[in-house]
């Protein structure tokens, strides 16, 4: 059974940093691209960014709203994906979901339960 478990959320002041983790199980983590998607309170879904598998270079792509502030990385030996968030803004307040891409196309076949990040002074 595929499981994705996010951790690391919490309350942080504007301008500070936070790192989220996504621990995966139930599939060969290193074979798949992984993504982060967020949802502000009462709002819709916003794609944040993703990291390709090592077979495709392990490169990353980001939404314009977070580019230059957020960094996604992965540790395939531990089956963990990370989201490093720097220079946080109040508008980054959201539930952050880790999501697994299907093997063939870039839709999300599994999601974690999410972790809440609140950016406030």
Partner 1 sequence: EIVMTQSPATLSVSPGERATLSCRASQSVSSNLAWYQQKPGQAPRLLIYGASTRATGIPARFSGSGSGTEFTLTISSLQSEDFAVYYCQQYNNWPQTFGQGTKLEIK
Q: Binding residue for partner 1 (CB under 8 A) from 82, 112, 117, 119?
A: 112
Could you say whether residue 113 binds partner 1 (CB under 8 A)? yes
Spatial separation of the C-alpha atoms in residues 22 and 98, rounded to whole Å:
6
Could you say whether residue 5 binds partner 1 (CB under 8 A)? no
Applying CB under 8 A, the span of 19-27, 38-46, 73-81, 85-93 interacting with partner 1 comes to: 38-46
Could you say whether residue 97 binds partner 1 (CB under 8 A)? yes
Burial of 69 (0-12, 13-18, 19+ CB in 10 A): middle
12 and 19 in contact (C-beta within 8 Å)?
A: no
Q: Binding residue for partner 1 (CB under 8 A) from 9, 23, 61, 71?
A: 61
Nearest to 20 by CA among 108, 89, 87, 86: 86
Q: Binding residue for partner 1 (CB under 8 A) from 44, 56, 57, 77?
A: 44
């Amino acid at each position: 059974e595929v499981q994705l478990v996010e951790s690391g959320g919490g309350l942080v002041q504007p301008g500070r940093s936070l790192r989220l983790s996504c621990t995966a199980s139930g599939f060969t983590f290193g074979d798949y691209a992984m993504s982060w998607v967020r949802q502000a309170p009462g709002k819709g879904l916003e794609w944040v960014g993703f990291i390709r598998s090592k077979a495709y270079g392990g490169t990353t792509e980001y939404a314009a709203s977070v580019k230059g502030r957020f960094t996604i990385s992965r540790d395939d030996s531990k089956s963990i994906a990370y989201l490093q968030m720097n220079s946080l803004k109040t508008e980054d307040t959201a539930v952050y979901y880790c999501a697994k891409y299907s093997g063939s196309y870039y839709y999300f076949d599994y999601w974690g339960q999410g972790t809440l990040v609140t950016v406030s002074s």
